[in-house]
A and B are shown apart, each in its own frame.
Chain A
Amino acid sequence: MLHHDALLPSACRVSMRCLSTVTRWLAAGLLLIGSAARAAEPGTADPMTERLAACAACHGSEGRTVGDTYYPSIAGKPARYLYAQLVNFRDGRRQHTIMAAMLANLSDRYLGEIATFYARQPHAAQPVFDGATAEQLATGERLTRQGDPARKIPPCQACHGEALTGVEPAIPGLRGLPVRYLDAQISAWKQGARRATAPDCMGQIAKALTGAEITAISAWLASQPYAPDARPATSLPAPLPLDCGGVLP
Chain B
Amino acid sequence: MKRRLIATGAALALAIAFSTWLNQPELAAEDIAPATGASATLEQVTAGEYLTRAGNCGACHSAPGGVPFAGGRRIATPFGDVYSSNLTPDDETGLGRWSEADFYRALHLGQSRDGRLLSPAFPYTSTTKISRADSDAIFAWLRTLPPVAQVPPPSTLEFPYDSALALRVWRALNFRPAKAADIAAMDRGAYLVEALGHCGECHTPRGRLGGLQTASRLMGGPIASLGWDALPIAGPDPAESADRGDAERAALLKTGVSRRGAVSGPMSEVVFHSLQYLRDDDIAAITAYLRAQPLAAPPPAPRVPQVSAETAKAQRREGATIYREHCESCHGGEGQGRPSIYPALAGSRIVNAVSATNALRLTLAGGFPPSTEGNPQPYGMPPFSHQLKREQIAAVLTYIRSAWGNDAPPVSVIEVERQ
- A residues less than 8 Å from B380 (CB atoms): 51-55, 102
A103 to B329, CA, bound (A): 23
How does the 8 Å CB contact mask read for B354-366 relative to A, with 1 for contact and 0 for none? 0000000000011
User: Which of B329, B365, B370 touches A105 (beta carbons < 8 Å)?
Assistant: B370
Q: A14-B333, A50-B379, A105-B269 are in contact. Are A57 and B368 (CB under 8 A)?
A: no
Within residues 1 to 33 of chain A, which ones have a CB less than 8 A from any CB in chain B?
13-17, 20
A16 to B367, CA, bound (A): 22
Pairwise interchain contact B371-A110, C-beta atoms closer than 8 A: yes
B383 on the A face (CB < 8 A): yes
A58 — nearest CB in chain B belongs to which residue?
Answer: B386
Nearest-Cβ distance from residue A152 to partner chain B, whole angstroms: 29
- A residues less than 8 Å from B271 (CB atoms): 105
Nearest-Cβ distance from residue A160 to partner chain B, whole angstroms: 26
Nearest-Cβ distance from residue A1 to partner chain B, whole angstroms: 17
- B residues less than 8 Å from A109 (CB atoms): 371, 376
B378 on the A face (CB < 8 A): yes
B245 on the A face (CB < 8 A): no
How does the 8 Å CB contact mask read for B381-416 relative to A, with 1 for contact and 0 for none? 111111100000000000000000000000000000
Stretch at the interface among A75-83, A90-98, A166-174: A90-98
Pairwise interchain contact A105-B377, C-beta atoms closer than 8 A: no
A106 on the B face (CB < 8 A): yes
- A residues less than 8 Å from B330 (CB atoms): 53
User: Which of B365, B378, B379, B387 touches A101 (beta carbons < 8 Å)?
Assistant: B365
- A residues less than 8 Å from B383 (CB atoms): 54, 57-58, 98
A104 to B64, CA, bound (A): 9
- A residues less than 8 Å from B379 (CB atoms): 50-51, 53
Pairwise interchain contact B386-A57, C-beta atoms closer than 8 A: yes
- A residues less than 8 Å from B272 (CB atoms): 104-105
Within residues 28 to 75 of chain A, which ones have a CB less than 8 A from any CB in chain B?
48, 50-58
Q: A54-B367, A57-B383 are in contact. Are A16 and B333 (CB under 8 A)?
A: yes
A52 to B330, CA, bound (A): 13
Report how many residues on chain B are interfacial, defined by Cβ distance under 8 Å.
33
B324 — nearest CB in chain A belongs to which residue?
Answer: A16
- Chain A contact residues, majority secondary structure: helix
- B residues less than 8 Å from A234 (CB atoms): none
Q: A53-B380, A102-B380, A105-B272 are in contact. Are A92 and B371 (CB under 8 A)?
A: no
How does the 8 Å CB contact mask read for A109-137 relative to B, with 1 for contact and 0 for none? 11001000000000000000000000000
B58 on the A face (CB < 8 A): no
A17 to B370, CA, bound (A): 25
- B residues less than 8 Å from A17 (CB atoms): 329, 332
Q: A16-B324, A109-B376 are in contact. Are A91 and B370 (CB under 8 A)?
A: no
- B residues less than 8 Å from A52 (CB atoms): 380
Within residues 168 to 215 of chain A, which ones have a CB less than 8 A from any CB in chain B?
none
A55 to B386, CA, bound (A): 13
Pairwise interchain contact A13-B366, C-beta atoms closer than 8 A: no
A91 to B379, CA, bound (A): 21
- A residues less than 8 Å from B387 (CB atoms): 57
Pairwise interchain contact B333-A54, C-beta atoms closer than 8 A: no
Within residues 166 to 202 of chain B, which ones have a CB less than 8 A from any CB in chain A?
none
- B residues less than 8 Å from A56 (CB atoms): 382
Pairwise interchain contact B382-A91, C-beta atoms closer than 8 A: no
A137 to B150, CA, bound (A): 47
- B residues less than 8 Å from A13 (CB atoms): 333
Pairwise interchain contact B64-A90, C-beta atoms closer than 8 A: yes
Q: A90-B64, A92-B64 are in contact. Are A113 and B366 (CB under 8 A)?
A: no
Nearest-Cβ distance from residue B1 to partner chain A, whole angstroms: 69
B328 on the A face (CB < 8 A): yes
Q: A106-B370, A109-B376 are in contact. Are A14 and B381 (CB under 8 A)?
A: no
B268 on the A face (CB < 8 A): yes
- B residues less than 8 Å from A58 (CB atoms): 383, 386
B238 on the A face (CB < 8 A): no
A104 to B267, CA, bound (A): 12
User: Which of A15, A51, A55, A92 touches B378 (beta carbons < 8 Å)?
Assistant: A51
Pairwise interchain contact A93-B269, C-beta atoms closer than 8 A: no
Pairwise interchain contact A53-B382, C-beta atoms closer than 8 A: yes
Within residues 323 to 338 of chain B, which ones have a CB less than 8 A from any CB in chain A?
324, 328-330, 332-333, 336
A105 to B273, CA, bound (A): 8
Nearest-Cβ distance from residue B335 to partner chain A, whole angstroms: 10
A53 to B366, CA, bound (A): 11
- Interface residues of chain A, those whose CB is within 8 Å of chain B, are 13-17, 20, 48, 50-58, 90-93, 98, 101-107, 109-110, 113
17 new A-B contacts at CB < 8 Å, known A16-B329, A105-B272:
A14-B332, A14-B336, A16-B333, A17-B332, A51-B379, A52-B380, A53-B330, A54-B366, A57-B386, A58-B383, A92-B64, A98-B383, A98-B385, A105-B269, A105-B370, A107-B371, A110-B378
Lowest 9 CB-CB distances: which A-B pairs, in order?
A91-B65, A54-B380, A57-B382, A105-B370, A105-B272, A16-B329, A110-B371, A107-B371, A54-B382
